[in-house]
């Protein structure tokens, strides 16, 4: 296993993944990860040279508390940021947290990522698990407030199913007519029945979501994160949205 694998972990070494790195270690890890993202993009032609906005949506329900406190969520932020550095022309990643409601948080860049969870997130109170409110705000920001003829790639991380299936279905169907792709990631040992069902939802203008699950956040891999995004980008309906 190379240095990249040792830093981010795999299904074999995930329990030993180091959290709470120094700023220098974190910057080094992110720079290595950006190289890895670039290599993955070179193997998926629609992603090579792509300009795309990247958003990160994080579950802030009570069951996630340990993952916020022990540095796991900070490590997830540092795992996703290199995708924004590869796709976004100024390396900016938009961020939301959600429980029953949501918070739209300050954008993350290489300049302010370190200590982001402690500085920007832990001051809020945790709650339940509703997907639709935060998804509606993602739609509002990218499509209504800041419209642009570029794709929007959203990584949505949760450790459990939601309590608002009908409302979430409606948001997914609405967003399917616009250039937003949702990459759902389930973390933990839940069944994620709703997200599995959503992954194969019928009646959408275009298939605009993917889902995979890992038992631990350190097992998230770039090949999985970018598995279905290229196919969505290549869809003629999506190409029409971007013209």
Lowest mean pLDDT among 17-31, 124-138, 160-174, 216-230: 17-31
Are 113 and 78 in contact by the 8 Å Cβ rule? The answer is: yes
Coil, strand, or helix at residue 232?
A: helix
Q: Where are the domains of the chain?
A: 25-241
Residue 21 banded pLDDT, cuts 50, 70, 90 = confident
Q: Hey, is 212 helix, strand or coil?
A: strand
CB-CB contact of 171 with 132 (8 Å): yes
Sign of the CA dihedral with 200 first, then 175, 221, and 114 last:
negative
- The pLDDT score that the predictor gives to residue 178 is 98
Is the model's pLDDT at 15 over the cut of 70?
no
What letter would DSSP give residue 140?
I
> pLDDT (tens digit, 9 = 90+) per residue, 187-199?
999 999 999 999 8
Of 1.10.3720.10, 3.40.50.970, 1.25.10.10, 3.40.50.410, which CATH number belongs to 25-241? 3.40.50.410
Asked whether the beta carbons of 170 and 136 are under 8 A apart, the reply is no
Tokens read off for 146: 């800041």
Sign of CA dihedral 2, 29, 210, 12: positive
pLDDT score, position 89: 84
pLDDT at 45: 86
What is the average pLDDT across 134-145? 98
**DSSP string for residues in 152-202:** EEEEEEESS--S-HHHHHHHHHHHTTTTEEEEEEEESS---HHHHHHHT-S
Q: Are 135 and 162 in contact (CB under 8 A)?
A: no
The model's pTM is: 0.92
């Amino acid at each position: 296993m190379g240095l990249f694998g040792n830093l981010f972990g795999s299904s074999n070494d995930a329990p030993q993944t180091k959290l709470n790195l120094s700023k220098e270690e974190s910057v080094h890890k992110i720079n290595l990860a950006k190289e890895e993202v670039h290599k993955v993009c070179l193997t998926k032609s629609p992603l090579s040279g792509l300009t795309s906005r990247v958003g990160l949506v994080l579950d802030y329900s009570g069951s996630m508390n340990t993952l916020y406190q022990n540095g796991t969520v900070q490590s997830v932020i540092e795992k996703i940021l290199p995708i924004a550095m590869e796709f976004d022309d100024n390396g900016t990643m938009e961020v939301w947290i959600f429980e029953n409601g949501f918070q739209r948080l300050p954008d993350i860049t290489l300049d302010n990522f370190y200590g982001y969870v402690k500085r920007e997130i832990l001051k809020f109170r945790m709650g339940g698990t509703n997907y639709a409110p935060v998804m509606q705000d993602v739609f509002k920001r990218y499509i209504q407030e800041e419209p642009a003829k570029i794709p929007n790639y959203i990584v949505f991380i949760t450790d459990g199913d939601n309590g608002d299936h009908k409302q979430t279905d409606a948001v997914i169907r609405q967003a399917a007519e616009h250039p937003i792709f949702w990459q759902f990631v389930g973390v933990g040992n839940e069944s994620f029945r709703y997200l599995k069902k959503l992954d194969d939802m019928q009646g959408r203008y275009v298939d605009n979501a993917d889902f995979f699950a890992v038992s631990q956040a350190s097992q998230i891999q770039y090949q999985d994160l970018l598995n279905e995004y290229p196919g969505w980008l290549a869809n003629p309906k999506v190409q029409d949205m971007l013209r």
